[in-house]
Amino acid sequence: MQDSRRWRCKVFRSFVAWITGHLTVPDDDSDLLKAQFAVFSSQVPLMYSIVLVNSWALAYPFMTTAPVWLAVYVPLGLSLVCAVRLVGWWRMRRTVPTAQYAHQALTRTNKFAFVLSVGLTVWALSLYPYGDAYGQGNIAFFIAITGVGVIICLQQLRSAAFIVAIVINTSFVVYFSLAGIASFVGMATNMALVSIALLLVVAIQFRHFAGAVSARSELEAISRENAKLANLDSLTGLSNRRQFFAHLEAAVSESGDRRVAVGIIDLDGFKPINDLYGHTVGDNLLVEVGQRLAALAGSNVQISRLGGDEFAVTVTDCGTDDAELLAMGERLCTALRDPFVLAEATVQVSGSMGFSVYPHLAADAHELYERADYALYRSKRTNRGHPVLFTQEHVVEIDQSQRIEQVLGSANLAAEMEVVFQPIMDTRFAKVVSFEALARWTSPVLGKVPPDHFIPVAERVGLISELTCVLLNKALASASTWPEDVGLSFNLSTHDISTSDGVATIVGIILSSGVDPCRIDFEITETAMMYDFSQAKASIEIFQLLGCGIALDDFGTGYSSLSQLHALPLTKIKIDRSFVSGLHENPASYKIVKSLLALSSDMGLGCVIEGVETEEELAALKQLGCLLVQGYYYSPPVPAVDAANFLSEAGVVRMTDQQPPRRTLAAVSP
């Protein structure tokens, strides 16, 4: 007996605890609070409409029997209060609340729900003595149905729904079960059961609602995280290509009359580091590069990684001074030249950079990027490790190269291409050691087109291999008429040595020409090597096995790591003419040439100095002990017939006296 009472007490206490736990607005879930606020504000008009219409429908029949203050003034006052609340919520309907704001508003609604339901119930029951049986039934119906309607509207604000249910329904049940009328007692019992069922439904519905809100919040958090990942480069943490373009589009469309600049940076010498030290070192280097660039970026500069070893700099509101922009670019390039001390190795790279500016020379974000990319290409070719700004001259160049591209595509290469020859001289005896073959194109449409213009186009459109074959055949045909001791230097481009098929074709041409491979030097630029170091090395080794020499062309203009040069089976370096012009009066150039000569001698390599134009330059070079030179001082490139004449006039020096020993086919065969 005692046990069952204790058990009943326990159940009652749990029920009361359950009820009271549902009477306050929880403040620990900000997403839920905001969702409750949003749903509730949309249901407020419906709820107040139910209350007002039902109240006036109840008051109307009592206007003749009940005192005026009760049948008219009270519902009027009620209408006024409801209208004020309604306007208040209407104003807030578009508010995106903070969690704190939503909590305050919902707590206020809780309190108001208590006051309103007490007021409504007291008012309706006050009318009871003035009504006949119908009127009293009407009151019971009003309280029950209005209560249910309001509770349904308050479903998502569980606490308010509970308050209304408790106040209205408890009063109803208590009042009508004490009314002493059997029908009302029945209604009260019904109402008690319906109320309990309604509270359970509200509790379950609310749990579902809260669950849906939390699932939606989680989804939103996941999609926010995904969006972040989709916009960031996972290695460096910088914005990625996608974010770069999105930011650029936005910067351009919001620029107004301000200028927007884009700089694209491509590392020089990254690929060999990746090949030599492995991808971990490569990755760590890219991270450090990103950090160095980001450290130098001002507030109006965004740094992105576009992929591989390519980075981008977006400058919003970049001012009107191009010199300032270039100075910023120079700071970035200078920073990249400092050695990178990584855990595994200390490595050195440089960064070439192309800038373009909107709206000065770009109509939209796409063109801005394309033109910066073109400026980068110019930087790589002519100003490695430094920034280049896209200018009107580049627009002309692009037009020109598009025109060349069109015409070259349908050109008869064998008929239109010629090879001219420039002697490489021995300074001691002023005699020819070899000739460098240089391409010349006379197009029936465009006239004479310099190789600087059409070779890059041929490389870009995939015509270079065919062109190389035509030129090599012609050059070898001329070389076969020269004395055996005169060599041939022939330029190869990146693409010629980047596939084993290309190399095999070249080897086939040499073998079928009848010219001894030992007479041939292939000239390859550093850029060609850096493109794919291991493939370049493999190709060079094949030429070397054949007995050909390999000269590193334009030495000093690009990025060269001595360790990499050492890893290649080179026989010569050709020092670029930019170091030669005026070296007799320029101590810096003089010192550079002097040290490059010493370097080549230490490495057992031959050394040709290009672009010697004056007697003074030649004298200075002779003083430095330079043996091989090439340049206008001796002869410009001349047609094949003139080369033959030149030989008979200038005489020939035996190549074997001047060059480092080469392995011949016989020497390498077992």
Residues at the contact surface with ligand C2E, assessed by CB under 6 A: 422, 438-439, 450-452, 455, 471, 491-493, 523, 553-554, 577, 611-613, 630-632, 637
Q: How far is the CB of 577 from ligand C2E (least distance, A)?
A: 6
Measured CA to CA, the distance from residue 544 to residue 521 in angstroms comes to: 10
Site string for Ca ion, 458-487 (x = CB under 5 A): ------------------------------
Minimum separation from the CB atom of position 436 to Ca ion (A): 6
- The interaxial angle of helices 99-126 and 30-62, nearest 10 deg, is 20
Could you give the residue ranges of the DSSP H alpha helices within 302-385?
322-337, 365-382
Q: For residues 236 and 427, which CB has a smaller minimum distance to Ca ion in the complex?
A: 427
Return the amino acid letter for 86: L
Interaction of residue 523 with Ca ion, rule CB under 5 A: yes
Nearer to ligand C2E, 492 or 605 (CB): 492
Distance CA 312, CA 301 (A): 10
Q: Which does 452 bind (CB under 5 to 8 A by kind): Ca ion, ligand C2E, none?
A: ligand C2E
With residue 86 as reference, give the H or E element that holds it.
helix 74-92
Q: Do 526 and 552 touch, CB atoms closer than 8 A? A: yes
Residue 631 contact among ligand C2E, Ca ion, none, beta carbon within 5 to 8 Å by kind: ligand C2E
Give which of Ca ion, ligand C2E, none residue 551 binds (C-beta under 5 to 8 Å, depending on kind).
Answer: none
Going by C-beta distance under 8 Å and a sequence separation of 6 or more, which residues neighbour residue 416? 441, 442, 443, 444
Site for Ca ion in 605-624 (CB under 5 A): 610
Distance CA 200, CA 197 (A): 5
For residues 258 and 519, give the distance between their C-alpha atoms in angstroms, rounded to a whole number: 60
Q: Cα(420)–Cα(443) distance, rounded to whole angstroms?
A: 16
When the beta carbons of 251 and 439 are compared against ligand C2E, the nearer one is: 439
Tokens describing residue 604: 């057992």
Q: How far is the CB of 356 from ligand C2E (least distance, A)?
A: 26
Residue from 554, 570, 605, 612 in contact with Ca ion (CB under 5 A): 554
Query: Which two tokens mark 260?
Result: 């927007």
> What's the closest the beta carbon of residue 333 comes to ligand C2E, in angstroms?
24
Closest distance between ligand C2E and the C-beta of residue 346, in Å?
A: 32
Q: Does 553 bind Ca ion (CB under 5 A)?
A: yes
From ligand C2E, Ca ion, none, interface partner of 238 (C-beta below 5 to 8 A by class): none
- Give 239 or 491: the residue with its C-beta nearer to ligand C2E: 491
Please, what is the end-to-end C-alpha distance for the chain in angstroms? 112
Token pair of 28, please? Answer: 């620990």
Q: Which does 263 bind (CB under 5 to 8 A by kind): Ca ion, ligand C2E, none?
A: none
Is 257 a residue of the active site? no
**Residue 284 is a binding residue for Ca ion (CB under 5 A):** no
- CB nearer to ligand C2E: give 580 or 597: 580
Which of 55, 491, 544, 557 touches Ca ion by CB under 5 A?
491
Which one from 233, 266, 268, 309 is the annotated catalytic residue?
A: 309
Which residue has tokens 């109509």? Answer: 363
Radius of gyration over every alpha carbon of the chain, rounded to an integer in angstroms: 45
User: What residue ranges in 252-327 does DSSP mark as E strands?
Assistant: 260-268, 301-307, 310-316
Q: Which amino acid is at 394?
A: H
Applying CB under 5 A, the residues found at the interface with Ca ion are: 491, 523, 553-554, 610
Report the catalytic residues. Answer: 309
